[in-house]
Amino acid sequence: MNVLMIGNSFTYYFDVPALLEQICRSAGKDVNVESVTKGGWTLLQHADKDDEAGRIAEEKLASGKRYDVVILQEQSSRPFENYLLFRDGCVKLAKKIRANNPDARIILYQTWGYGDEFAYMTEKGWTCETMFAKLEKAYAEAAKELGAEVSPVGKGLLALYRQTAIDPYWEDRKHQSYHGSFLSATIHARKLFPDLQTGEITFRGECTEDDAKQIFTIAEACGE
Buried b (16+ CB within 10 A) or exposed e, 64-76: eeebebbbbbbbb
Cβ-proximal residues to 205 (8 Å cutoff; 6+ apart), any chain: 19, 22, 178, 182
**Residue 36 DSSP code:** E
For residue range 6-56, what is the model confidence (pLDDT) as tens digits? Answer: 999 999 999 999 999 999 999 999 999 999 999 999 999 999 999 999 999
- What would the mean pLDDT of 183-211 be, rounded to a whole number? 97
Task: Provide mean pLDDT across the span 77-106.
Answer: 97
pLDDT at 223: 81
Res 150: pLDDT: 98
Backbone angles phi, psi at 35, to 5 degrees: -150, 155
Q: Which amino acid is at 42?
A: T
Residue 224: predicted pLDDT: 61
- pLDDT band at 78; cut points 50, 70, 90: very high
Per-residue pLDDT reduced to its tens digit, 199-208: 999 999 999 9
Question: 2-222 belongs to which CATH class?
Answer: alpha beta
In the predicted model, is pLDDT for residue 195 greater than 80?
yes
Q: Which pLDDT does position 156 carry in this prediction?
A: 98
- pLDDT mean across residues, the chain: 97
Domain ranges of the chain: 2-222
Task: Write the pLDDT tens digit of every residue in 114-169.
Answer: 999 999 999 999 999 999 999 999 999 999 999 999 999 999 999 999 999 999 99
**CA 189 to mean position of chain CA atoms:** 11
pLDDT at 108: 98
DSSP 123-186: HHT--HHHHHHHHHHHHHHHHHHHT-EEE-HHHHHHHHHHHSS---B-TTSSSB-HHHHHHHHH
